[in-house]
Amino acid sequence: MSGLDNMKTRITYAGGDKQQDRMIEDKLRSLKKALLYSYQAATAVLEDGREFRCLINPDKLKTEYRDKIISIPFEDVCLNKPRVGKTTEGIEPIGMKVGDTFLWKEDNTYWLVYLRYEEERAYFRAEIRNCDYEIEINGKKYRGYLRGPDDEETIWRTKHNISWTDVDYMCLLYITSNEETRAFFHRFQKVNIYGKPYEVQIVDAISNQNLLMVALKETFSNEFEATTQNEIIVDNGEVTNTTDDPVSNSIEDTNEEPRILGPEMVFPYDRKKYTIENAEGGTWEIDNTKKAIITHQSQKAVTIDFITGRSGEVSLIYKRDGMDDIVFKITIESL
């Protein structure tokens, strides 16, 4: 029976009597070897200051962002804690998850974990994105990824010898989702980025419970309104919350300018309703009837069917005699 006992011991060491468990254990051992000898091995400094070895592999490199893939054990020895005995006695859970940020020590850059590979069971594996911006909300600092406006052209409009351009759409912010950030970022919140005012249009807190995705649109500055609102100032890579009352994050809407309310991002073949605020006596128009049509309208509301299967943009226009048109840009996002 000694031979069978030896075989059982070897199988247990290899991961157990189930083949899948042995495959998982084998992959984990391969990762830990790579943490010592791989060219792409790195040190991750977590938000709580603990340091762990990991692999950071290249993924996508664009002008708008830098993506990489991190592989790190679910539990390992913390590098900056004193040794307590045998190496195995110092193993502790790492707890990395989507929405966390960490410092790549050797590269001195910060990264945000935003998409996990759920099928990887041997260790934690996820896509990470470089996050250069430091954001301070109610005295607490966060790291976030910020992408600037993606409009490729500026459209000028002229009426009554007055020229203007449509607002840029849009800035995109990825930041850790928690009770504080969810309370701060909400629709129509005003933020200031490099001296230009932006307004929160969409806050996606549903796609991932640990990651907040915020869409911002260029808006107009109002010196009187700015004194009563929370702001985020982004300057030289730093973002600061300038509110006088860190407890209250609500915004009182004092803007009496006419505006159109409704979703700014839609999908092909959607049907959406839009309403006009602080204006009356006008009619509705669509600038491109090949992409969208008006199926029902009144002086205060309109229903639009988007009839294209491709991405693009259309403008919803509220026209009034003798007054400037109110233009609302709608982005059709392809599925």
Give 137 or 116, the one with higher predicted confidence.
116
Domain 256-335 CATH superfamily: Immunoglobulins (2.60.40.10)
pLDDT, position 220: 67
Alpha helices in the chain (DSSP H): 2-14, 19-37, 179-184, 223-226
Q: Which two tokens stand for residue 289?
A: 């009837």
**Is the distance from CB of 101 to CB of 113 less than 8 angstroms?**
yes
Characterise 25 by phi-psi region: left (phi > 0), alpha (psi -120 to 50), beta (else).
Answer: alpha
Question: CA dist 54 to 36, 42, 251, Å?
Answer: 9, 5, 43
pLDDT, position 169: 59
pLDDT, position 65: 84
pLDDT, position 243: 46
Domain ranges of the chain: 2-130, 142-255, 256-335
pLDDT, position 127: 95
The residues with which 241 forms a beta bridge, in sequence order, are 232
pLDDT, position 124: 96
Q: What is the DSSP string of 156-192?
A: EEEETTEEEEPPPEEEEEEEE-SHHHHHH--TT-EEE
pLDDT, position 321: 84
Q: Which two tokens stand for residue 220?
A: 């107009």
pLDDT, position 104: 95
User: What confidence tier does 166 reach under pLDDT thresholds 50, 70, 90?
Assistant: low
Question: CA dist 154 to 137, 257, 258, 327, Å?
Answer: 33, 23, 22, 14
Q: Each residue of 222-259: pLDDT tens digit?
A: 554 544 444 454 544 444 554 444 433 433 344 578 88
pLDDT, position 153: 53
Mean pLDDT of the chain: 80
Choose among 37, 34, 205: nearest CA to 125: 34
